[in-house]
Structure 1
Amino acid sequence: MGVPVDFTNVSTDGVESSPHADALAGLRANEARYFSTKYGHTFEVSPATDEAATLAWVERILEEDRGIKFAARPLQISINDVDGIHWVHVFYESGLALNVLWTIADGGKRAVGFKLCEGMDVPEELAAFKFARQKSKLAGTIRGSFFVIKGDYPY
């Protein structure tokens, strides 16, 4: 069972080992606020070690679709099913937050998004991507990028 993320009182619980703990907690809270505002949904996180099958699914998509394998340690995972979309968020110790958007209906949107915490360098694995900047009251400046998933990876 996951722990709800409070976007009013931001906490570093679960991500305190990150050198960017405050920014990563803000990024996580930013995602929680988005899900609350857009879907009326409570965003919960679990330790990545508790969600091995989900992490394996995300890693398979990254590896098979783009040849990406992160060196950073995953700390937490959030699994959300809203409006026919399966969302998985992975928060890494490096300060990277990744999300997989998987529309359940055939022919729907399927993509992987990357968000970098304020203050972190672009990971070597993502050097080929261009990042746009976004301001957040909770997370400072977020740099984001994405790719459309081409393969089929049922979960």
Structure 2
Amino acid sequence: MNAKPVSFSEVTTEGLDSSPVAEALAGLRANEARYFSTKYKHTFAVAPTSEASEELEWVEEILRSERDIVPTSRALEVSVNEVEGIYWVHVFYESGLAVNVLWTREDGGKRAVGFKLSEGMDVPPELSSFKFARQRSKLEGEIRGSYFVIKGDHPLP
């Protein structure tokens, strides 16, 4: 996978230009990059979905099988990270939705799906049953987020 590092000091919409909320989605992506840099000293990088199709399928299979969720928007980019025994996959969708799967490799560890909505986007119909908490971000403005705990087993890609 030919992933490009995401800068949180120079926010760019590269790779997200087709999104109607490209600026906000780029800020959300930069916010993730800052989190990984600050918490883990790790470089957050993204690749086009064509280069991470297995990881995208893994995330979307978890959404389907755990909660019968099928994203209605086109996936634009994927980020795959492994830090401190945690496998993370982030998917950035054209609508402004960002989905991340946190999968602790150790048995009994945390396994969850997180959703973040870019500022300016409506809650997608497939996520209407979720309650979204609000948080402020210098990079993105207001981020609305929600999550659920993964109950089943989903072999890593």
TM-score of the two chains, using structure 1 as the length reference: 0.99
Distance (Å, rounded) in 1 between the aligned partners of 2:50 and 2:96:
18
Residue type of the alignment partner of 1:115: K
Matched, 1:50 2:51: yes
Matching residue of 1:112: 113
> Does the residue aligned with 2:52 lie in a helix, a strand or coil?
helix
Q: Which runs of 4+ in 1 moved over 3 A?
A: none
Structure 2 residue aligned with 1:123 = 124
Q: Which residue of 1 aligns with 2:65?
A: 64
Distance in 1 (alpha carbons) for counterparts of 2:99 and 2:55? 13
Query: Could you tell me how far 1:13 is from its partner in structure 2?
Result: 0.2
**Structure 1 SS opposite 2:155:** coil
Matched residue SS, 1:81: strand
* Letter of the 1:121 counterpart: D
Give the 3-state SS of the residue equivalent to 2:19 in structure 1: coil
Q: Equivalents in 2 of 1:71, 1:117: separation in Å?
A: 15
Deviation, structure 1 residue 45 = 0.1
**In structure 2, the residue corresponding to 1:64 is in which secondary structure?**
helix
| Residues in 2 aligned to 1:28 and 1:64: alpha-carbon distance in whole angstroms | 26
Query: Structure 1 stretches of 5 or more lacking a match?
Result: none
Q: 2:153 — aligned with what?
A: 152
Shift of 1:50: 1.1
Shift of 1:113: 0.2
Instruction: Give how far 1:154 is off.
Output: 1.3
CA distance in 1, matches of 2:151, 2:72: 23
Which residue pairs with 1:135 in the alignment? 136
Q: Distance in 2 between matches of 1:105 and 1:131?
A: 29
Q: Deviations over 1:83-130 (max 9, x none)?
A: 000000000000000100000000000000000000100000000000
Structure 2 gap ranges (5+): none
Q: TM-score, normalised by structure 2?
A: 0.98
Count of residues in Structure 1 that have an aligned counterpart in Structure 2: 155
- What is the DSSP-based 3-state SS (H/G/I as helix, E as strand, rest coil) of the residue aligned with 1:77? strand
Give, in whole Å, the separation in 2 of the partners of 1:95 and 1:108. Answer: 29
Alpha-carbon separation, structure 1, partners of 2:131 and 2:15: 29
- The root-mean-square deviation of aligned C-alpha atoms, in Å, is 0.4
Deviation of 1:49 after TM superposition, in Å, equals 1.4
* Percent of aligned pairs with the same amino acid: 66
**Paired amino acid for 2:155:** P
CA distance in 2, matches of 1:68, 1:81: 25
